[in-house]
Structure 1
Amino acid sequence: MTVTSEEHILVINPAEFSTKAYEAFRQLPFVSSLTVIPGVGYGGRSTTVREVTAEEWARTTILLTGRTLPPSREAAPNLKYVQLFSAGSNQLQNEPFYKASDNTIYATASGTHGPAISEWAILMMLNFFHNSHLYSKWQAEARWGSDSEFPRPVIDQFGRTLGVLGYGAIGRQTARVAHALGMKVIAHSFSSPPKRERVEVAVPNSGDPDGSIPEKWFTGVEQLDDFFSSGIDVLLVSAPFTPETEKIINKKTLAKLKGAYIINVARGGLIDTDNLIEAAESGLIAGAALDVTDPEPLPDGHKLWSVKNISISPHISGHCVGYENRVTNIAIHNVKQLRAGKTVTNRIDKSKGY
């Protein structure tokens, strides 16, 4: 990677994100310019509200974006680093610039979402097993309810098993919180051998830095069946969405997860929606919490809306105050790494799709 004497930063800022976070770039002696263009949409779904000018693309060396990329390699000859606002990169896979820009390094925002999404996952799990959705109903009705109205017995999670499919930043922070509740944690990593150590740049001291929380690790496609058959009570789906993981939760998988509660914070396409509905309605699985769906957005009238033991939220589990500061932390760290000729964090491997 060639070190230029100066960097020109272009930020396509998602809606409602504060621009103050990006002022940190101005404190870096090698940053010559900072351009912030307002965007619409959140995180990786955001796009710019206006066209980026030819002059802006031409001078940009560092880009922070949701999914907006230059129209061609010739339009942005100096672009060497792209920082995404999302933990996933599937929104770029078919973009011409992404496929053609072999000399550009891409990095995700992995690590940014860990605290918020892990809390959402634990919230949904506890809400389900404690039937707490009824509390606000009783209060609104101004009456003293009874546990005889619970649709299911209360189950605390102490001693139960959390299976984490995809032990990245989100999986590690969720494992940390679940472990504090007394849960046993097992993990599956598609890389073999798994990378046990992971130090978070976006949110320092979060997650599982040395990979010591899981009592057992499973790796690669060849150990998926063993993982799903290992007595999982709660399954967290936090793996990247790739051709390898598409509909990885299917009829065969669900049979191995009999009785489990499934939480999907990754992408809707990792789960076969029809198979999930059938498993939930038949009682094969306890239920599910979905922050992502297939299709997404979930259309009006879709059958998934009416399944009683499935909860749905509109892809917002990672929303939190200060999100943009965490992404900026990653970008600044990586730009310094690049200029020093060192490895960047969260670098996307195009051959893997994440």
Structure 2
Amino acid sequence: MADRLVVLHQGILPPNAEHIEALADTVYATEEELPLLLPGADILLCWHSITPAVAESWPEDPTLAPAWVHVAAAGVDSLLFPALVDNADVVLTNSRGVYDQAIAEYVLGLILALAKDFPGTWEHQRRREWRPRDSERIGGRTALVWGTGPIGRAVARMLRAVGMRVCGAGRTARADDPDFGTVHEGASLRPALADADYVILAAPLTPATRCMVDASILAAMKPGARLVNVGRGGLVDEEPLVKHLADGRLAGAALDVFAQEPLPAASPLWDMPGVIVSPHTAGEVTGWRADLADLFLENLGRRVEGRPLRNVVDKEKGYVRDGTALESC
């Protein structure tokens, strides 16, 4: 008997839906329909990934919970609620690997935009003002990439390729990493922050990383440095960030993710000089939905054939550990 699959969507379905339907008894659910359709399902595909609807619709009876939940995103923080995490019979997978190169390119674009003041150039063009001025080099500048997973590694390789000096920040310090060279943690992190011209956040959002960039970390950053966040908005305490930007201690920031999304119209970040705001689109390049759908389809085929699933998340840690797989679910 085919698995019963519920696809949580927001009006846009996976582009390979007919292939998915050939492998599973598939029903489609909006946020409003999910409480009715989720209980008793074997699989939940969160095609609409950043939503509280899954937690709000999760069956009270653990035997009615799906055996496998897949999220069409790299981040799984919205799914790390106790009833799912504590149920050992529920396997969680994500879309690790889909966004790596796209986000690395986006980070390079943001750094170039900040260093060359492209927003200022575009504003002068809009006003028909001819204002020659100097810009900054990025070659030889130091970038600290905070988050040493696949996205962080792709970012590090991209920035090294254009002549930037790169180091990493992660859970384990080491001096011979193939992508970062030196990886800092704990006591060695603050000196690295004081040396970095750009701090790039590419870490997952977990209880351990929530608001990891707080007032003390921002104060430890090099005067005139810039912050780039393509991880999760919850990594940053935005109130002290606004203060450090307003008083000029930090030269700017490029932010693709925010504590509250969409970013409220009243947020001062919208209008701050030296700040680039984008709507959580760093990984959304032409064909990205097809890539997400193909990854899920591959995993669905693995389940049908009884083979290990890709990208199994350690639900206690909140991310995929290298080499993690599950024989069956």
- Structure 1 length as normaliser, TM-score? 0.76
SS of equivalent residue, structure 1 residue 228: helix
Unmatched tracts of structure 1, length 5 or more: 40-47, 197-210
Q: Report how far residue 306 of structure 1 moved.
A: 3.4
Equivalent pairs counted in the alignment come to 311
In 2, the alpha carbon distance for the partners of 1:302 and 1:249 equals: 18
1:146 equivalent among 108, 128, 131: 131
SS of equivalent residue, structure 1 residue 19: coil
Paired position in structure 2 for 1:10: 6
Q: Is the 8 A contact 1:86 1:108 kept in 2?
A: yes
Alignment of 1:85-100 (within 5 A): 85-94=72-81, 97-100=83-86
Paired position in structure 1 for 2:258: 293
SS of equivalent residue, structure 1 residue 263: strand
Q: Report how far residue 262 of structure 1 moved.
A: 0.6
Paired position in structure 1 for 2:183: 217
Unmatched tracts of structure 2, length 5 or more: 320-329
Paired position in structure 2 for 1:72: 59
SS of equivalent residue, structure 2 residue 120: helix
Change (3 A) 1:300 1:19: closer
The more displaced of 240-249 and 289-298 is 289-298
Paired position in structure 1 for 2:221: 257
Q: Report how far residue 337 of structure 1 moved.
A: 4.7
Superimposed CA distance per residue, residues 185-226 of structure 1 (whole angstroms, 9 cap, x where no aligned partner): 211222x378x9xxxxxxxxxxxxxx622222235x454335
Superimposed CA distance per residue, residues 292-320 of structure 1 (whole angstroms, 9 cap, x where no aligned partner): 22344433333333321222223232333
The more displaced of 161-170 and 333-342 is 333-342
Change (3 A) 1:291 1:273: same
Q: Is the 8 A contact 1:57 1:75 kept in 2?
A: no
In 2, the alpha carbon distance for the partners of 1:298 and 1:328 equals: 28
Letter in 1 for 2:255: L
Q: Is the 8 A contact 1:21 1:324 kept in 2?
A: no
Q: Report how far residue 91 of structure 1 moved.
A: 1.3
In 2, the alpha carbon distance for the partners of 1:295 and 1:135 equals: 29
Q: Report how far residue 341 of structure 1 moved.
A: 6.1
In 2, the alpha carbon distance for the partners of 1:137 and 1:307 equals: 14
Change (3 A) 1:228 1:193: closer
In 2, the alpha carbon distance for the partners of 1:20 and 1:292 equals: 26
Within the alignment, does 1:267 sit opposite 2:232 as a pair? yes
Within the alignment, does 1:330 sit opposite 2:300 as a pair? no
Q: Report how far residue 26 of structure 1 moved.
A: 4.9
Q: Report how far residue 51 of structure 1 moved.
A: 4.1
Paired position in structure 2 for 1:200: none
Paired position in structure 2 for 1:189: 170
In 1, the alpha carbon distance for the partners of 2:104 and 2:149 equals: 12
Q: Is the 8 A contact 2:39 2:58 kept in 1?
A: no
In 2, the alpha carbon distance for the partners of 1:20 and 1:303 equals: 38
Letter in 1 for 2:15: K
Q: Is the 8 A contact 1:73 1:101 kept in 2?
A: no
Change (3 A) 1:329 1:168: farther
Q: Report how far residue 270 of structure 1 moved.
A: 1.6
In 1, the alpha carbon distance for the partners of 2:112 and 2:245 equals: 18
Within the alignment, does 1:132 sit opposite 2:132 as a pair? no
Change (3 A) 1:343 1:74: same
Q: Is the 8 A contact 2:35 2:58 kept in 1?
A: no
Q: Report how far residue 164 of structure 1 moved.
A: 0.8
Q: Percent identity?
A: 25
SS of equivalent residue, structure 1 residue 186: strand
Q: Report how far residue 106 of structure 1 moved.
A: 0.4
Paired position in structure 2 for 1:203: none
SS of equivalent residue, structure 1 residue 329: helix
Paired position in structure 2 for 1:170: 151
Alignment of 1:49-128 (within 5 A): 50-51=33-34, 53-54=36-37, 57-58=39-40, 60-65=41-46, 66=49, 67=51, 68-69=53-54, 71-72=58-59, 74=61, 77=64, 79-94=66-81, 97-128=83-114
The root-mean-square deviation of aligned C-alpha atoms, in Å, is 3.0
SS of equivalent residue, structure 1 residue 253: helix
Change (3 A) 1:126 1:193: closer
Q: Report how far residue 327 of structure 1 moved.
A: 2.1
Change (3 A) 1:6 1:270: same
| 4+ residue segments displaced more than 6 Å | none
Paired position in structure 2 for 1:244: 208
Paired position in structure 2 for 1:35: 27
Superimposed CA distance per residue, residues 24-75 of structure 1 (whole angstroms, 9 cap, x where no aligned partner): 3356xxx2423344x4xxxxxxxx3534645x743x3222112443531648
Q: Report how far residue 340 of structure 1 moved.
A: 6.3
